[in-house]
């Protein structure tokens, strides 16, 4: 999964840019998912969906064309991403999140510095920020995301030697590290759910690995070596 966050203030053109990028990626036969942040309700006030969502902990709406899920409390994108199976992930908004590189949409040089935070890989048009390449062509920006997009697990486990995923992201963007430096997804234990790897901090990884090794070692026919376990959850 290649991921990028579109960072800009209100009415900076984030949604317009996201729509153009979706078209560009789909023209390349890539699947695209979007996580959109907003300070407003997603459904019109007093609609049936709105009324139900205010009462239920989780509301799922099903139709022949789409599925819509609403939680009654805030969720991190990291809780939602495992549900997505996609080639490209665009996150619209969420300037506080530091687990993916960002495309900034500034309206002034001051905003460019504010939005950059050492996490930007490019700027979409607008006033020039000297550190960043400025793109005005959607195809070139799509190329940039395919080549430089990435997604860190956001665990802030420090196993990579950096205190937070944000610090590691800055090191990757500056060229001092690469995605392989993330120890939460690069280890001798890998767990995939619906095709997506589940990040594990060292404590959890060692706990699961130790528990499985102890259980398997008591089974007849067990010998040391790589272990593959496939599980289909019961309905």
At 167, which helix (H) or strand (E)? Answer: helix 165-174
* Mean pLDDT to the nearest integer, 79-96: 89
Model confidence band, residue 18 (pLDDT cutoffs 50, 70, 90): very high
* Mean pLDDT to the nearest integer, 113-128: 90
pLDDT at 187: 66
Among 54-63, 83-92, 170-179, 195-204, the least confident range? 195-204
Model confidence band, residue 4 (pLDDT cutoffs 50, 70, 90): very high
Q: How many other C-beta atoms lie within 10 A of the C-beta of residue 211? A: 10
Model confidence band, residue 205 (pLDDT cutoffs 50, 70, 90): confident
Q: Is the pLDDT of residue 109 over 70?
A: yes
pLDDT at 221: 75
- 194 or 159, greater pLDDT: 159
pLDDT in tens, 34-70: 998 877 666 666 778 778 877 787 888 888 888 888 8
pLDDT at 65: 84
Strand, helix or coil for residue 9:
coil
pLDDT in tens, 206-233: 788 788 888 888 887 777 777 877 777 7
Right CATH for 2-41+75-151 from 3.40.630.30, 3.40.50.300, 3.40.50.720, 3.30.930.10: 3.40.50.300
Q: How many other C-beta atoms lie within 10 A of the C-beta of residue 234? A: 4
How many Cα neighbours within 13 Å face the side chain of 57? 0
pLDDT at 82: 81
Model confidence band, residue 115 (pLDDT cutoffs 50, 70, 90): very high
Pair 1, 89: CB distance under 8 Å = yes
pLDDT in tens, 146-178: 999 999 999 999 999 999 999 999 999 999 999
Dump the DSSP string for 185-217: TSSS---EETTEEPP--HHHHHHHHHHHHHHHH
Model confidence band, residue 23 (pLDDT cutoffs 50, 70, 90): very high
């Amino acid at each position: 999964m290649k991921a990028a966050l579109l960072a800009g203030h209100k009415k900076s053109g984030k949604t317009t840019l996201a729509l153009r990028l979706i078209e560009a990626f789909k023209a390349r036969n890539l699947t695209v998912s979007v996580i959109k942040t907003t300070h407003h309700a997603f459904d019109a006030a007093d609609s049936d969906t709105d009324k139900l969502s205010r009462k239920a902990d989780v509301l799922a709406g099903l139709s022949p064309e789409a599925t819509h899920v609403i939680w009654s409390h805030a969720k991190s994108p990291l809780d939602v991403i495992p549900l997505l199976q996609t080639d490209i992930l665009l996150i619209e908004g969420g300037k506080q999140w530091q687990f993916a590189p960002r495309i900034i949409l500034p309206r002034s040089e001051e905003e460019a510095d504010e939005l950059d935070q050492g996490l930007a890989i490019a700027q979409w048009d607008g006033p020039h920020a000297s550190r960043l390449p400025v793109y005005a062509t959607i195809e070139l920006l799509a190329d940039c995301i395919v080549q430089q997009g990435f997604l860190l697990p956001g665990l802030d486990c420090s196993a990579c030697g950096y205190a937070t995923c944000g610090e590691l992201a800055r090191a990757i963007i500056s060229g001092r590290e690469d995605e392989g430096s993330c120890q939460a997804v690069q280890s001798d234990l890998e767990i995939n759910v619906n095709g997506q790897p589940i990040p594990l901090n060292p404590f959890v990884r060692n706990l699961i690995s130790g528990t499985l090794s102890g259980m398997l070692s008591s089974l007849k026919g067990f010998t040391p070596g790589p272990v593959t376990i496939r599980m289909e959850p019961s309905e």
